[in-house]
Structure formats: structure tokens, C-alpha cells
Amino acid sequence: MQQPVKIAPSILSADFARLGEEVAAVDKAGADYIHVDVMDGHFVPNITIGPSVVAALRPHSTKIFDVHLMISPVDSYVEAFAKAGADIITIHPEAGPHFHRTLQLIRSLGKKAGLSLNPGTPVDLVENVLDLVDLVLVMSVNPGFGGQKFIKSQLEKIRRLRRMIDATGRQIDLEVDGGINVDTAKEAVAAGADVLVAGTATFTGGPGHYAQNIRALRGDALGGDALEGE
Ligand code: DX5
Ligand code: ZN
């Protein structure tokens, strides 16, 4: 069943020189999850942060740390991110070699497991691991960078996943990542998403705007008006 919309600010768009304060600020501004994008310059063409940064950020928020691993190979790093304080660990099936095994590993560490589908990755890949996932992440851009344009063809993928998830009767987050703004947020939620990752749309305008940015993404009328009025 589709849950009330949760907002997961991607700290990729935060001020990296003040990351701890930025995490605390979005926590206070109403974020549900803190979305941490981990990139290795190999699986994706960008390099971001590792487990020691996640561990350093952990005391700055009590919210769920939603750690998105865009690294390959991935298995050898899962435990380090679990120990660093990740609550949800999401992997890509292409990060190989055996994503069923990686999901089992995440679960064995007592963490929630997520599977992420790139725009070109078929939805059927989830079918045989549905019992092992707590979250399915639909990439609405190709992974690697913030600030890209939402790929509309992914809305159909979200609709299909909504049906697959509902058929399980289990509570599995359906998260969308990339190009989320007030308009695409509405479309993604209408298609069945219940967790929205938002980097640019959360952090635009600096700390004084985070709360209203998050309210606007949630579809709150006041937040929307405030944004439109700017
Ligand atoms: C892209 C990352 C996203 C990205 C989203 O590889 O997984 O989380 O930071 O950024 P926006 O919201 O700016 O598209
Ligand atoms: Zn992400």
C-alpha cells in the first residue's frame, strides 16, 4: 500500500564544507530520510564520499540514513557502511556479481535492503528478489550527478512496481531519485511512489528555505504557495 509521502534530501547538493550542519538543518526542516549518495568514479562517473564520512555525519541526525551505493564491486564495502550507521543500504543489480547475495548480506547485518533500477534497467529484475527488499529505488536520471532532468518514461516503471509491491502485501518503500521538483514530485506520487529523493529541490536557496522546500515537495499547499511566490 502506498504510504504517506516521505522526503529524502540528497546531501549531494549540500554544502560539503559544512556537511554536519547541513544534515542537521534538513533533519530539523522536516526530512524523513537522509539520502547519502556514494559514488566511486567507476560504476558512475563521479566520486563522492565513503563510510568514514557517513560515520562522522551519524551524530548530526536521528533520521533514517538511506545510503545509496553506486559502487562496484559492492559486497566488500557493505559491512563498513552498515557499521558507519546506515539504516537502509541500496545497491544496483549491475554492481555484481550476485545481487541476490548482496541483498542477503545487507539483511544479515540487520539493515534494510534496497534495490535500485537505472532508467535502462528492466523492472523484472526485482521479481526474484522481492522477498529480500525493503525498498525499490527507481532512478529517474542516469546515476552520477545531481541537477539532471527527470526522465518521464520512468513513470510507467513506477506504476508497474506499485502493482508488484501491493501484490506482496508487505510494506516496501517505492522511492524515486533524480530530477524531482514540485511538478515531477506530483507525477511520481500519482504513479505510486512514496519516497522522494530531492537534492537540488531541497537545498536551493540555503538553510532558510529547506523547510518550505520540503513542504512543497510533500505537496503541502502552503509550501507550494511559498515557493511560487518567490
Ligand atoms: C544521482 C543521485 C541522486 C541525485 C539527485 O546519481 O543518486 O540522489 O543527487 O539529485 P537531484 O535531486 O538534484 O536530481
Ligand atoms: Zn541517490
Q: Is the CB of 216 under 6 A from ligand 1?
A: no
Contact 12, 146 (CB under 8 A): yes
* Interatomic CA distance for residues 45 and 47, integer angstroms: 7
Phi-psi region of 30 (alpha: psi -120 to 50; beta: other; left: phi over 0): left
* Interatomic CA distance for residues 61 and 178, integer angstroms: 23
* Interatomic CA distance for residues 205 and 169, integer angstroms: 40
- And the C-alpha cell for 207? 538553510
Q: How far is CA 171 from the centre of its chain?
A: 16
Kindly name the residue from 37, 40, 173, 194 that is annotated as catalytic.
37
Q: Is 166 a catalytic residue?
A: no
Residues with CB under 5 A from ligand 2 (ion): 37, 68, 177
Q: Is the CB of 180 under 6 A from ligand 1?
A: yes
Q: Which residue ranges form the domains of the chain, and what is each CATH number?
A: 6-221 (3.20.20.70)
Q: Is the CB of 114 under 6 A from ligand 1?
A: no
Q: Ligand 1 centre and the CA of 178: distance in Å?
A: 5
* Interatomic CA distance for residues 60 and 215, integer angstroms: 21
pLDDT at position 222: 47
Substitution candidate for ligand 1 out of 40, 148, 184, 210 with most atoms within 8 A of CB: 148
Residue by residue, pLDDT tens for the chain (230 residues) are: 999 999 999 999 999 999 999 999 999 999 999 999 999 999 999 999 999 999 999 999 999 999 999 999 999 999 999 999 999 999 999 999 999 999 999 999 999 999 999 999 999 999 999 999 999 999 999 999 999 999 999 999 999 999 999 999 999 999 999 999 999 999 999 999 999 999 999 999 999 999 999 999 999 854 444 444 33
Q: Is 32 a catalytic residue?
A: no
* Interatomic CA distance for residues 72 and 15, integer angstroms: 26
* DSSP states of 126-189: GGGGGGG-SEEEEESS-TT-SSPPP-TTHHHHHHHHHHHHHHHTS--EEEEESS--HHHHHHHH
pLDDT at position 220: 83
Substitution candidate for ligand 1 out of 197, 202, 213 with most atoms within 8 A of CB: 197
Which residues, including other chains, have CB under 8 Å from residue 76's CB and lie 6 or more apart?
none
Q: Is the CB of 178 under 6 A from ligand 1?
A: yes
Atom of ligand 1 nearest to the CA of 142: 6
Contact 153, 20 (CB under 8 A): no
* Interatomic CA distance for residues 100 and 119, integer angstroms: 20
Q: Ligand 1 centre and the CA of 71: distance in Å?
A: 15
Q: Is the CB of 200 under 6 A from ligand 1?
A: yes
